[in-house]
Structure 1
Amino acid sequence: MMDVSLSYLDSSLISDFSSFSQDHSSVCINTLDAGSYIIEPLPSSVNELLNTNEAPLHSKPLQCSLREAETVVSDLNQHLAKMQAEVAQCTLKRDQAVSIVQSYRNILHPLRRTPPEVLLEIFSYCVDFVDTEHPEACQKLDSLDTKREPWNLGQVCKYWRSVVLECPRLWSSLSLNLLTKPPNSAQAKKSDSASAVVLLSHYLRRSKDCALTIAIFTSQPTHPLLSLLCGHSNRWSDMLLSLPTAGFQSLSIINGCLPSLRALHLRSLDSEITWASTPVIDAFEYAPKLVLLRAHEIPNITSQFLLPWDQITYCSNHFPNGEVVARNEINRSNMDMLSKTTRLRHATLLCSGHGPSLPLAPLKHEFLTCITLELIRRSSLDLLDQFLDALTLPSLRSLRMTVSSRHRPRPSVQPIVRLLERSKCSLIKMRLKGFETDVSPDVAGSPSTFRVLLTSKAIRDSLQVICLAYFPNSLLQALTVGGTETPAPVLLPRLKHLRVSGACPVELDQTLFVSMVESRVKYTKFGSLVTSSQFVLTNQEAKKRLDELDTKYP
């Protein structure tokens, strides 16, 4: 129940309210102010009756007070309605003024005065440019999606559209993944293909004469979009082609039409059996600027493709699936590649296979400065030893080798020692993963092969960067400067960068590890210590010392 707490029930005020009631017809709510009404609490006698069920002795004064209170409530409601109307009208005018203010602010916004070159710099950070070095990431992009950049940037306003359309660099990179599930009907497939051709035509026209970076994934040898791209082959600069063998053969129409091609990435969608019966592909035979080649799942690429091998400076040959079936001749394929690429500087090669090793003719490569070798799982270690023993690399400066962790015991670095001694090179960077890195003497007291490697002429006075997955305590002790009472020559005196690519093993002496780093920092200008996310020091004291070292020698 709601109580009307008014002082009109007091007997002393009855006469006042009676007179007010008599003159009420002459009182207009417009001439009254809500603040003129004084609302006082109920008398104590009325409060007492509210706490009981008894009837009042004098009801007429109470009824009169009730009528007067209802009149006041009505007057106040009218006044409140008028105020609400005024508030609504004021709010409407305020909103109109705010809209005008916002319009002026929009017109005077600094973005309207932003020069086109600044806008283009901002837009360049919005567009997902294709990076052909990462095919998996390229495959997730869809350059014909009009809801993505750079399409949607031109849908903001007329000025932005003019800027976007006049910048061919925004349209110079595209990725087409055509391996998705095809439409249910032939009619839908035809419609989608026609729409894609129209969009790609717009895309290529907006790129004008700019060099193109393209990634295309399709299982159809003669897809309409691939044919449309071939019409612009004179602008291909960086190309990733993931095709079946018949698709590569259909590219013969661009032979001699690749004046700007600099990087070529070839990915096969067929098996080795299919490649065995495939004629030689000559689409890329004439490419005067081609210097980079990456091949994926293409066996014997030197015999499958006619390429300007003598001008290539970077070459890689990968088999991501890690299969070793029918790949016992991969070393011969690698050697053929090295023998044809006479100007090669960087090589990334795979050693895989099982069974007996095939004989290799010795090869001396005069220009190769960086080589990366990987022996995949279930492959014979003899393949790696055989390949290294056949090479002589006098210009070698960087060596990266990875052996699968499935190989136990860890393979020896003796083939590497023989390679460096034979090449008479000066190694600056070395990354080894999966090899035995213990420098403790063997049972007969002879130095370990890894110590022999670190003290060899090719490494001793030149190595500046070393990256290992496993640092045994014996190696940490050997790398520590001044770690023994007997003075000894400093191992790797020019070492500046130390990298750990593996996890922190339980047997690692973490205090010794930090002491080694501290000694290196004090001995020479130690550039950096880089550890993997799995390398976590659990010794809090050692971790604190390492953090303090980072603060002292940033």
Structure 2
Amino acid sequence: MSNSALYSCIGCGLRIGEQLSSTNEPPSCMILDALSKSNDPPPPLEYDHLKQRYRETQSRVTSLSSQISRLGNSIKVLLAEQKKLKERLVAWKGLLHPIRRLPDDVLAYIFQTCVELDFDYLLGIDSDDSDRYPGMLDTGRSPWVLGQVCRRWRSLTLSLPQLWTYFDIGWKYTDEDTMYGTCFEPLLALQLQRCRDLPLTVSYYGEELDGQYASKQRLLMVLCSRSFQWANATIRGDTAGLNHLLPYRGLFPYLRQLHLYLEEDRWNDEDEEAYVFQDTPSLQQVTIAGDHGTFTSTSAQLPWTRITHYTSKECDEIQYKLLNNVHFRLLPKMPNLRICGLDCVDAMTGVDDPIEAPRASLKLSFLHTLVLTCHEIEDSEPSSIGQLLDWLVLPNLQCLKLLDGFRTPDSLLGLLQRSSCTLLELEIIDARLGGPQLNLVIGFHKLQDLHTLVIGKYKDHMSASISDASLKRLKLVWSGKHKSIILPKLQHLVLHGRKRWTDEVLVDVAASRRDLTAFGISAGSVARLESLVIHDAVLEGEAALVSQVAQDRLQVLQEGGLLFECRS
């Protein structure tokens, strides 16, 4: 090592890395080794020399100890300085964080998203879940927590009344951990003050219970002091709980959306009827989930003729079958429906009473979107989806989604033929169809204006998607003077389920619907395919296409404007 030091300590000036002189000398080492093995005294001629070496070594040890001590002190000083600088660095980093430079309008958008996410999370969990308590009155949730960060955020949060328009008192008292809090009423009143006169979104859980568990009705009373601002309400509980709102009947003039999740009434009180929302002149969107019996017994509980959006759902936790007899009773009350989504269950032979469709068809002149989902029971007759399609006449139908339980094409083709509608979107998922039945559907002449087709996951002998034979039906074919064009206006194709087609056929179909000039097709008579999506076709991480030739051809199509996606 060079005699020059690598550097000098800034604390004590010690020359760090300087070469130290050797303290080992062969004669001394030999004598030390020899005498260490016995009790003999050192030779007289060596005694003074050894004593001198001892003093030098002792002095050197003392010097090194002093240097080590000084270095230790320097290290402590340096570590303290490093800690202080790191803390200062964190502070500087916070000052330079981009969020400090966000304008108020961007922060307001972020705050709104936080509030909506918190509210949607609460709506998505059960009423007796511990996370549900105490709803949006939890000051650890948005928007309360947003005002606890800094002065600017608090000022902005208080200046945005739209952040305070979400009210959830939809928890269920279950144990001592969810006791009624005396602070809830003041918090609720404060939130109502901060939302000013904006429309409110409300969630409430009610049931017929006495004592402390019924004390939540006091919160409902505070919330209903602004019933004229309710615009969107989600009510859970049994019929008795729904009737907690009965004293406020007629006080919801601007309620537009109502979502009811009704449990089976444990008291079985036939005298209780849900007339709470009968006088709601602005109500247009209704969701009923669970026990529909309350609304099939009479016709006066909701302003049915004003309803334009209706959704009927099953609830897994409720032992109630949503059979077609419910739909046969309720749908005729809503002649102005535009959008309708129905859950249904096939009646089980020998268990459920036979369900007979009304003899007269039901014509819904304004309905343009219909979504049917069936919880299918094996070998049950008749098919609930088939019954509904055979019953309806929908002259304005544009979007039809059959998400489960669709068995045969006859009912669908009959609906299209009978309604003379212009269907633009068709989705058939998890149906029990074979290849010939699928070909019959997509080749039907009433689908000439269809621009979006979503198909796949067919329960055909354990198959999970469509094969090459079915996919080839979508290919534009030119043979001499003959043009074979199925779904000429198709622009968007989505294939669901495990991949059974080959890469070459998939790309052939897409290519045939992109290069229309090769077929001499006039502009406007046939639409170009704009997007191709395969959903759950391959495992995550696997390539959508294996064939290199197909990949190259698809790349050319994408460069020409085709949107291709592989989703999982």
CA 1:526–1:110: 2 relative to 1, 3 Å: closer
Is 2:361 the counterpart of 1:348? no
Note if contact 2:514-2:528 (Cα within 8 Å) is conserved in structure 1. Answer: yes
Which is worse superposed, 385-394 or 137-146?
137-146
Note if contact 2:207-2:240 (Cα within 8 Å) is conserved in structure 1. Answer: no
In 2, the alpha carbon distance for the partners of 1:385 and 1:110 equals 57
Note if contact 1:261-1:290 (Cα within 8 Å) is conserved in structure 2. Answer: yes
Note if contact 1:351-1:376 (Cα within 8 Å) is conserved in structure 2. Answer: yes
Residue 152 of structure 2: aligned partner: 159
In 1, the alpha carbon distance for the partners of 2:544 and 2:117 equals 44
Residue 429 of structure 2: aligned partner: 433
Is 2:397 the counterpart of 1:396? yes
Q: What amino acid sits opposite 1:401 in the alignment?
A: L
CA deviations on 1:200-258 (whole Å, 9 max, x unpaired) are 33333333323222223344565333333222222222211111110111211222221
SS at match of 1:351: strand
- The Cα shift of 1:101 comes to 8.5
Residue 204 of structure 2: aligned partner: 216
CA 1:49–1:526: 2 relative to 1, 3 Å: farther
Note if contact 2:257-2:285 (Cα within 8 Å) is conserved in structure 1. Answer: yes
Residue 109 of structure 2, aligned match among 102, 121, 124: 121
Residue 3 of structure 2: aligned partner: none
Is 2:375 the counterpart of 1:376? yes
**Structure 2 residue ranges without an equivalent (≥5):** 1-11, 459-465, 517-526, 564-568
Residue 498 of structure 1: aligned partner: 493
Note if contact 2:495-2:534 (Cα within 8 Å) is conserved in structure 1. Answer: yes
Residue 182 of structure 2, aligned match among 183, 190, 194: 194
1:489-528 aligned at under 5 Å gives the runs: 489-505=484-500, 508-509=501-502, 511-523=504-516, 524-528=527-531
In 2, the alpha carbon distance for the partners of 1:39 and 1:488 equals 99
SS at match of 1:231: helix
- The Cα shift of 1:71 comes to 2.9
Residue 19 of structure 1: aligned partner: none
Note if contact 1:296-1:317 (Cα within 8 Å) is conserved in structure 2. Answer: yes
In 1, the alpha carbon distance for the partners of 2:431 and 2:13 equals 98
In 1, the alpha carbon distance for the partners of 2:483 and 2:96 equals 73
Residue 475 of structure 1: aligned partner: 470
In 1, the alpha carbon distance for the partners of 2:394 and 2:200 equals 36
- The Cα shift of 1:162 comes to 2.6
Which is worse superposed, 277-286 or 390-399?
277-286
Note if contact 1:132-1:238 (Cα within 8 Å) is conserved in structure 2. Answer: no
Q: What amino acid sits opposite 2:428 in the alignment?
A: L
Q: What amino acid sits opposite 2:279 in the alignment?
A: Y
CA 1:164–1:540: 2 relative to 1, 3 Å: closer
- The Cα shift of 1:451 comes to 4.3
Which is worse superposed, 96-105 or 140-149?
96-105
Q: What amino acid sits opposite 1:167 in the alignment?
A: L
CA 1:383–1:156: 2 relative to 1, 3 Å: closer
In 2, the alpha carbon distance for the partners of 1:309 and 1:286 equals 11
Which is worse superposed, 214-223 or 418-427?
214-223
Residue 530 of structure 1: aligned partner: 533
Q: What amino acid sits opposite 2:373 in the alignment?
A: E
In 2, the alpha carbon distance for the partners of 1:37 and 1:535 equals 67
Residue 30 of structure 2, aligned match among 48, 53, 74: 48
Note if contact 1:481-1:490 (Cα within 8 Å) is conserved in structure 2. Answer: yes
1:2-17 aligned at under 5 Å gives the runs: none
In 1, the alpha carbon distance for the partners of 2:546 and 2:319 equals 47
CA deviations on 1:387-428 (whole Å, 9 max, x unpaired) are 322221110111112343xxxxx7211111111111111110
Is 2:252 the counterpart of 1:236? no
Note if contact 1:497-1:526 (Cα within 8 Å) is conserved in structure 2. Answer: yes
In 2, the alpha carbon distance for the partners of 1:309 and 1:401 equals 25
Residue 181 of structure 1: aligned partner: 174
In 2, the alpha carbon distance for the partners of 1:94 and 1:477 equals 70
CA 1:72–1:522: 2 relative to 1, 3 Å: same
CA deviations on 1:36-83 (whole Å, 9 max, x unpaired) are 996234222234345544665312211122123323433554466466
Residue 18 of structure 1: aligned partner: none
1:65-214 aligned at under 5 Å gives the runs: 65-75=53-63, 77-78=65-66, 81=69, 115-129=103-117, 135-137=123-125, 142-179=135-172, 181-183=174-176, 189=179, 192-214=180-202
Q: What amino acid sits opposite 1:503 in the alignment?
A: R
Q: What amino acid sits opposite 1:376 in the alignment?
A: H
In 1, the alpha carbon distance for the partners of 2:123 and 2:538 equals 29
In 1, the alpha carbon distance for the partners of 2:87 and 2:404 equals 68
Note if contact 2:203-2:233 (Cα within 8 Å) is conserved in structure 1. Answer: yes
Q: Between Structure 1 and Structure 2, how many residues are aligned?
A: 500
CA 1:482–1:32: 2 relative to 1, 3 Å: closer
In 1, the alpha carbon distance for the partners of 2:75 and 2:546 equals 69
Given the two structures, how large is their TM-score scaled by the length of structure 1? Answer: 0.77
SS at match of 1:334: helix
SS at match of 2:499: coil
SS at match of 1:479: coil
**Structure 1 residue ranges without an equivalent (≥5):** 1-30, 405-409, 441-448
Which is worse superposed, 99-108 or 228-237?
99-108
Residue 15 of structure 1: aligned partner: none
CA 1:174–1:102: 2 relative to 1, 3 Å: same
In 1, the alpha carbon distance for the partners of 2:53 and 2:169 equals 85
Identity score, percent: 23
Is 2:365 the counterpart of 1:366? yes
In 1, the alpha carbon distance for the partners of 2:70 and 2:438 equals 95
- The Cα shift of 1:366 comes to 1.1
In 1, the alpha carbon distance for the partners of 2:372 and 2:307 equals 18
CA 1:275–1:313: 2 relative to 1, 3 Å: farther
Note if contact 1:130-1:174 (Cα within 8 Å) is conserved in structure 2. Answer: no
Q: What amino acid sits opposite 2:332 in the alignment?
A: S
- The Cα shift of 1:124 comes to 3.0
CA 1:451–1:51: 2 relative to 1, 3 Å: same
Which is worse superposed, 103-112 or 410-419?
103-112
Q: What amino acid sits opposite 1:312 in the alignment?
A: I
Note if contact 1:144-1:200 (Cα within 8 Å) is conserved in structure 2. Answer: yes
CA deviations on 1:111-135 (whole Å, 9 max, x unpaired) are 6665544433333343344666994
Residue 290 of structure 1: aligned partner: 283
In 1, the alpha carbon distance for the partners of 2:94 and 2:395 equals 66
In 2, the alpha carbon distance for the partners of 1:457 and 1:276 equals 53
Which is worse superposed, 149-158 or 123-132?
123-132
In 1, the alpha carbon distance for the partners of 2:305 and 2:69 equals 92
Note if contact 1:438-1:472 (Cα within 8 Å) is conserved in structure 2. Answer: no
Residue 545 of structure 1, aligned match among 550, 556, 561: 550
Which is worse superposed, 496-505 or 376-385?
376-385
SS at match of 1:494: coil
1:236-255 aligned at under 5 Å gives the runs: 236-255=230-249
Is 2:442 the counterpart of 1:454? yes
Note if contact 1:322-1:377 (Cα within 8 Å) is conserved in structure 2. Answer: no
